[in-house]
Amino acid sequence: MIKKMLEELNVPSPLEICGEKVKSVEEWKKIRPLVLKSMLENEYGYLPEEPKNIEFNVTENENGRFCASKAKYYTVEVSCTVNGENFTFPFSYVYPSKGDKFKTFVVINFRPDIPDKYIPTEEIIDNGFGCASFFYKDVTSDDGDFSDGLAGLIYKDSERSEYSCGKIAMWAWAAMRVMDFLQTRNEVDKENIYVAGHSRLGKTALLTAAVDTRFSGAHSNCAGCSGDSLNRGKVDGNEFIGDILDRFDYWFCENYKNYRDRDNETPFEQHFLHALIAPRKVHISSALEDVWAGPELQFLCCAAASEVFEIYGEKGFVYNDSDFLKPKYLHEGRVGLCTREGTHYFSRDDWHGIFDFFK
């Protein structure tokens, strides 16, 4: 059933971006830059260049007593040079007090709070993970103002071109700077650092891991249109590319406007992001009442990505047709899906799915 649905939607394959379908890891590695180029030039824009002179100022909080002394809690200030000027933003970093090397999440969040309604810090610690999180508006505003924060430094001497980065790419750039910090920490298991976000920040998490291979995987929570669900096959109640451009065109590059009202015709598809993360891990959370995000298209997006993982000899998205739109964890492959009851929210159920998948 699922394979037939994908065939009927005429979903493009990243393996065929040059025409003839590639069949080996070596061939995929040769065309992978073209797949990434397609996503950057058509949707998100090219990320800013790596900064110069990056430094980290670390301050300990709670005197070692955070979470009943189960965790260490720090505030970190990133300072670096962007386009000849200093740029600074803060993030929070928490990890278990006891143990050796910790798998760690980089969470792009809507608030700076620790804990937060979207970040159950003590549960993260109790499950043996560390967590570094930042407030996305500390990087640049969530609006069309390209003179604010990082955007103001990038565009101080120029205007945006058709491929210039939108705000999502800037938040992804900031997540990479948090990764720069984690690379300096002895307590971090550097083979298991994952990036996570909800909604627009779930889109950001997928882009981050697609671009930066230091991340061992990504979690996208209810990201929907232009994130973790297919463009093709949308129905009334789903969000279309035109809908998202009407309200949030500044998230994307200018070239993305060419695909308004062309959801079924895009030469790229959202599972290209999943494919770019292969053979690393991709985890999606989908809410059955979040019709705007298209839970059926999130399922299909995961299924469409499997072929790239399989080239590596890995299981991609493992499912039965009977699993379609059923509340459950599908975690047997490198592409995982947590489908749950409820609406658009980063819930504890989502986090329990994350712990199970990335354990």
Annotated catalytic residue 344: yes
Q: Which of 61-65, 66-70, 235-239, 301-305 has the lowest mean pLDDT?
A: 61-65
The residue annotated as part of the active site, out of 79, 97, 344, 352, is: 344
Q: Over the stretch 9-30, which tens digit does the pLDDT of each residue have?
A: 999 999 999 999 999 999 999 9
Query: The domain 47-197: what is its CATH number?
Result: 3.40.50.1820
- Tell which phi-psi region holds residue 273, choosing left (phi > 0), alpha (psi between -120 and 50) or beta: alpha
219, 231, 352, 238: which is closest to 280 by C-alpha?
A: 219
Neighbouring residues of 133: CB distance < 8 A, sequence distance ≥ 6 = 91, 92, 105, 106, 107, 108, 109, 114, 116, 119
| H helix or E strand, kind and range, residue 39 | helix 25-39
13, 14, 10, 12: which is closest to 36 by C-alpha?
A: 14
Burial of 344 (0-12, 13-18, 19+ CB in 10 A): middle
- Pairwise CA distance, residues 95 & 351, whole Å: 16
**Sheet strands (E) in 22-145:** 52-61, 71-82, 85-96, 102-109, 129-135
- Tell which phi-psi region holds residue 262, choosing left (phi > 0), alpha (psi between -120 and 50) or beta: alpha
Residue 313, pLDDT > 90, answer: yes
The SS3 assignment for 263 reads helix
Give residue 158's pLDDT band: very low, low, confident or very high (50, 70, 90): confident
Domain residue ranges of the chain, discontinuous segments joined by +: 1-44+222-359, 47-197
Mean of per-residue pLDDT scores for the chain: 97
Neighbouring residues of 64: CB distance < 8 A, sequence distance ≥ 6 = 72, 97
In this predicted structure, what is the pLDDT of residue 181? 98
- What single DSSP character describes residue 305? H
Residue 195, pLDDT > 90, answer: yes
Task: Report pTM.
Answer: 0.98
- Pairwise CA distance, residues 78 & 93, whole Å: 12
User: Average pLDDT in the 183-193 region?
Assistant: 98
Neighbouring residues of 50: CB distance < 8 A, sequence distance ≥ 6 = 176
Give residue 64's pLDDT band: very low, low, confident or very high (50, 70, 90): confident
Q: Over the stretch 106-122, which tens digit does the pLDDT of each residue have?
A: 999 999 999 999 999 99
Give residue 157's pLDDT band: very low, low, confident or very high (50, 70, 90): confident
- Pairwise CA distance, residues 117 & 111, whole Å: 9
Amino acid at 19: G
Burial of 90 (0-12, 13-18, 19+ CB in 10 A): middle
Give residue 210's pLDDT band: very low, low, confident or very high (50, 70, 90): very high
User: Average pLDDT in the 256-261 region?
Assistant: 98
What are the φ and ψ backbone dihedral angles of 7, each rounded to 5 degrees? -65, -40
Neighbouring residues of 350: CB distance < 8 A, sequence distance ≥ 6 = 221, 285, 338, 340
Q: Which residue has the tokens 């970190």?
A: 76
Residue 159, pLDDT > 90, answer: no
Annotated catalytic residue 199: yes
The SS3 assignment for 346 reads coil
The SS3 assignment for 93 reads strand
The residue annotated as part of the active site, out of 38, 199, 229, 306, is: 199
Q: What is the dihedral of CA 36, 40, 46, 47, to 10 degrees?
A: -70
Give residue 331's pLDDT band: very low, low, confident or very high (50, 70, 90): very high
